[in-house]
Structure 1
Amino acid sequence: MTIKPIIDFDAYSQEFAYCESIIKKHSKNFHTAFSQLPKDKARAVYAVYAFCRRADDAVDEYQDAQLLAQMSTELQALKDAASDQARLALYQKKTDPDQAIWRALAVTFIKFDLDYQPFFDLLTGQEQDLSFEQPVSELDLSNYSYYVAGSVGLMLLPILSSHAKEIQEPAKKLGEAMQRTNILRDIGEDLRMHRIYLPKETLAKFNLTEKELFLGNQLDSFIDMWEYEAMIAESLYEASFEMIPLIDQDCQESLLSAALIYKEILAVIRKQQYQVIHQKQAVSKQRKLQLLFTAKKMLRQIDLEVN
């Protein structure tokens, strides 16, 4: 068992606060769930999220391949550093906001012994988005979803579980489920950016062209296609829940809450009659609170089944 070094997260409270401001701004769903974690684990999640967000912005906001390459270089330097002190020294004299993220991330790597490969994989996924090509098959979509989302599940596992190596597959499934949920929520927004993440083969199966996608719920075939994709996402959520007993007890509620809140986006879209072309659906604050209680109930049931 790896003995984690003693490191004072409070000494980097400003850096972690900056990372938390990023997750608050860009993902209220994740912040609602993961803010329930023990303090240092929550801050570690915020640091990982801030890294992922920065990579995402490099593509969606700036279309900047150089920024992605710079992030890869920084990550390699962090990996290659000869000691924990050397990792921290990489960022001590730099003051720009990006370096605050890297300082928080360096502390997180030291404390939780994160695996570097998923971070590199995420950057690979973002590079794919710079030269975006519509996936042909569901397998293509699954592979893409690993690089941009399943990888995030693997990033977080060492923070959330002392059994991280044993539950990598369900963690990747949860990431894919969330990515597929994003795609189903953002069809209209993506169309306006000239992107279609829905596989060509699936659209052909339902006789949908790009032009017809813009009609959205005016077409029964669109609703049928949407439900086909939603069922795949929902099956992935269910499969991912098998990892919950091997998540640390003080993290189970937060992780399950995050999954339930994200899954609920699909239910909201159904209630809103599949309005995803001109509206971006979201889970209400009241419903999020209800799902936090649902997570508690599910965990009690899981505990009874395990014991």
Structure 2
Amino acid sequence: MHPFSPDVAFAARDDHAACREAIRQGSRSFFAASLILPSRVRAPAYGLYAFCRLSDDAVDVEGGSFSALERLRERLAGAYEGRPNPVAADRAMADLVRRYAIPRAVPEALLEGLAWDAEGRRYETLDELFDYAARVAGTVGVMMTLLMGVREPQT
């Protein structure tokens, strides 16, 4: 249960536009692919992408900084507690986690994968690589299925 009213939206129209622009600038291929999504999925996908992209960039730009990871954990906590940072992607994420009931463990697994990047882990086996991919890519896929209204575990 979230401690804020379901009637409250954190992200404004400008926030959604900023998230769309983040995907347009940050990944031309994902932006192009997003155009075939139904509009009911496309708009929230921009917010999700913006949060994930900013998270990945925060770790990469700071050279795998563990302080960057701690700030990401705080940003995620703020989104789940209804007190997002004053950043478009954070406000959009706060709306998404509430509207789509995204289990907190899913984006936390993404942050775990980003922590592995910061540690400079190398993957010696295919199983280790699968573990990493499940965190940094699989989590985004799971969240996208939730945005699409699919909640079956087998999906």
Normalising by structure 1, report the TM-score. Answer: 0.45
Considering Cα pairs closer than 8 Å and 6+ residues apart, tell me whether 1 or 2 has the greater RCO: 2
Aligned to 1:74: 75
Classify 1:8/1:56 alpha carbon distance in 2 versus 1 (closer, same or farther; 3 Å).
closer
Q: Identity rate of aligned residues, in percent?
A: 27
- Tell me the CA shift for residue 31 of structure 1: 1.2
Determine if contact 1:118/1:154 at 8 Å carries over to the other structure: yes
Instruction: Say if 2:19 is the partner of 1:25.
Output: no
CA distance in 2: counterparts of 1:119 and 1:34, whole angstroms: 20
Deviation string for 1:36-63 (max 9, x for gaps)? 3333421211111111111211222222
Classify 1:8/1:100 alpha carbon distance in 2 versus 1 (closer, same or farther; 3 Å).
closer
Deviation string for 1:163-197 (max 9, x for gaps)? 323334xxxxxxxxxxxxxxxxxxxxxxxxxxxxx
Give the letter aligned to residue 52 of structure 1.
C
CA distance in 2: counterparts of 1:114 and 1:151, whole angstroms: 11
Aligned to 2:135: 147
Structure 1: unaligned runs, 5 residues or longer: 82-86, 169-307
Aligned to 1:58: 58
Structure 2: unaligned runs, 5 residues or longer: 1-5
Question: Once superposed, what is the RMSD of the aligned Cα atoms?
Answer: 2.2
Higher helix share: 1
CA distance in 1: counterparts of 2:120 and 2:17, whole angstroms: 33
Deviation string for 1:96-124 (max 9, x for gaps)? xxx21111111222222222211001111
Classify 1:34/1:7 alpha carbon distance in 2 versus 1 (closer, same or farther; 3 Å).
farther
Give the letter aligned to residue 54 of structure 2.
R
Aligned to 1:165: 152
Give the letter aligned to residue 110 of structure 2.
L
Give the letter aligned to residue 111 of structure 2.
L
CA distance in 1: counterparts of 2:98 and 2:36, whole angstroms: 22
Q: How many residues align?
A: 149
Give the letter aligned to residue 47 of structure 1.
G
Give the letter aligned to residue 50 of structure 1.
A
Instruction: Say if 2:117 is the partner of 1:129.
Output: yes
User: What are the equivalent positions in structure 2 for 1:99-248 lying under 5 Å apart?
Assistant: 99-161=87-149, 163-168=150-155
Normalising by structure 2, report the TM-score. Answer: 0.84
